[in-house]
Amino acid sequence: MDAFIAIEGGDRVGELAALVGWLRRERELQGVVRLARRDVEETELGGGLDVLSVAVGSGGVGVALAQSLSAWLRTRRSDVKVTITANGRTVEVDARRVSDPVGLITRVLGGDDGTGG
């Protein structure tokens, strides 16, 4: 399964580049993070590489991604939002307004309903 991560707010290109670098430095995420194109709406022009794709499978990659992404959000000075899509679910995490980003991200990546495993 792939998790797709998009950035909103601030300098999207700069923030996406910063996030790619951050995630690729994580030992558990090496080799599973890549840039991708998101689907373009009919009213939009084609874009460049504007989302991250992270291959999330077994071995704790989802937990490592959730923890690393949460730590990266805490380092942001601008008002940045990250949208994570996986398992047919989407969650938006605001760097300044979410108290438990790890829990939110883990639930989306795990595909559960928040009741456990």
- Sheet containing 2-8: which strands, arranged edge to edge? 33-36, 51-55, 2-8, 81-86, 89-94
pLDDT at 110: 77
Predicted confidence at residue 25, as pLDDT, reads 94
Return the percentage of the chain with pLDDT > 90, whole number. 25
Q: What is the mean pLDDT of residues 110-117?
A: 49
Which region among 59-63, 80-84, 89-93, 97-101 has the lowest average model confidence (pLDDT)?
A: 97-101
Q: Which residue has the higher pLDDT, 80 or 98?
A: 80
Q: What is the mean pLDDT of residues 84-102?
A: 82
Query: Could you report the per-residue pLDDT of 20-70, keeping only the tens digit for each?
Result: 999 999 999 999 999 887 665 565 555 555 888 999 876 688 889 989 998
Question: What are the residues whose beta carbons fall under 8 Å from the beta carbon of 37, sequence distance 6 or more?
Answer: 47, 48, 49, 50, 51
Phi and psi dihedrals of 50, rounded to 5?
-130, 10
pLDDT at position 40: 59
Q: Looking at residue 62, what is its pLDDT?
A: 87
Q: What are phi and psi of 69, to 5 degrees?
A: -65, -40
CB 77 within 8 A of CB 68: no
- Spatial neighbors of 21 by CB under 8 A, at least 6 apart, are none
CATH level 2 (architecture), domain 2-110: 2-Layer Sandwich (3.30)
